[in-house]
Structure 1
């Protein structure tokens, strides 16, 4: 059961509304392959919790927007990285959301299954494999060995490695918040629960 009820648009103060609008009508809304709001306008996934503290939530959503839309990495590399974090953290919402994004981006079901299980052999392309291996090390161990660092720098470049390490940290933060507040994916919430606990 969720530990945080959904904030509804009509009850938001000015600061919360600013964060809400940045999420619900910003670049995520224009490009979303998954549901950002429920039938009553409540934000899905990690975004609802950002309204608890809009000063921090606004900065966090802005970082997420930068990670998604203002880096040089390809959509393919980004989704391999995000779904690797989702696997390591066993994050139901991140898997739901970014498998949808990945399908739109052209990922096949075999690739998505491999990302769910951590099967690197499904990525024979050296660039894909390097992103996969680098992000797995970052998400699983929180570091790169000297050889992994050298391979990442030589294959991706230091700016791209900075982007990937930021992405892994950001999505790990979201996965932690999703876990703490017991947020499920909309797929598992097609029938709204009869009661919710309000820890807002």
Structure 2
């Protein structure tokens, strides 16, 4: 079975974009494992939004206060909650390269609370899951997460998590497929 699904938005290329969007597109090409596909294919339909979202993603992916291991874990949590195939395919290898234990990611992929998490991983998991499912966290979890992560990391965690909900929604809107040759992480979701 081919992973290629008809896109709702035809794939943009550097050449098909308006001149004023090409600089941003080149910046995306310089850092994205997906090129201009995935969320960028959808985002570039709104050039000002795409530019501002790219700047936010630059901070959240490369400069926020969380260790990349935790940042990528938060992204994977949203990918799993949204069954976001593209998000998972793009971020799973990044998470592993940044020392998220494979068993943590693999349990998450199976919709199992990851076993043997480090205390900071548990805080990330609990905050992301409670915020996503209950739209709030208890005072006890807040105090615990603040103690484990600190205030800035806790705020950055929410920013990462919420932003990657937006990315998952953009991917869903465009029905963006995973790259050819990759295996669907959540075949039950199609």
Q: Distance in 2 between matches of 1:13 and 1:169?
A: 29
Using the TM superposition, give the Cα deviation of residue 87 of structure 1 relative to its aligned residue in structure 2, in angstroms. Answer: 0.8
The separation in 2 between residues aligned to 1:189 and 1:96, in whole angstroms, is 8
Count of residue pairs the alignment pairs up? 178
Q: Name the residue aligned to 2:63.
A: 70
What is the alpha-carbon distance in structure 1 between the residues aligned to residue 116 and residue 92 of structure 2?
16
Aligned counterpart, 1:198 = none
Deviation at 1:179, TM superposition (A): 0.5
* Structure 1 SS opposite 2:23: helix
TM-score by length of 1: 0.81
1:155 to 148, 153, 157: 148
Q: Select which of 5, 11, 28 maps to 2:10.
A: 5
Deviations 1:146-185 (A, max 9, x none): 2221211122111111101101110000101111111111
Aligned residues of 2:74 and 2:128 also touching (Cα < 8 A): yes
Shift of residue 187, structure 1, vs aligned partner: 4.0
Give the whole-Å Cα distance in 2 for the aligned partners of 1:94 and 1:186: 11
Q: Which runs of 5+ in 2 are unaligned?
A: 1-5, 184-190
CA contact (8 A) 2:104 2:114 kept: no
1:88·1:140 contact (CA, 8 Å) conserved in 2? no
User: Residues 85-107 of structure 1: CA distance to partner in whole angstroms, max 9, x if unpaired?
Assistant: 11111100111011121232234
User: Is 1:20 the equivalent of 2:25?
Assistant: yes
Query: CA RMSD, aligned part only?
Result: 1.9
Partner Cα distance (2:110, 2:89) in 1: 15
Any idea what SS the aligned residue of 1:52 has?
coil
- TM-score using structure 2 length: 0.85
Aligned equivalents of 1:168, 1:141: Cα separation in 2? 14
Give structure 1 stretches of 5+ with no counterpart.
30-34, 38-42, 191-200
Which one of 9, 33, 36 corresponds to residue 34 of structure 2?
36
> Structure 1 residue aligned with 2:167, among 160, 174, 181?
174
Aligned counterparts of 1:123 and 1:185: Cα–Cα separation in 2: 30
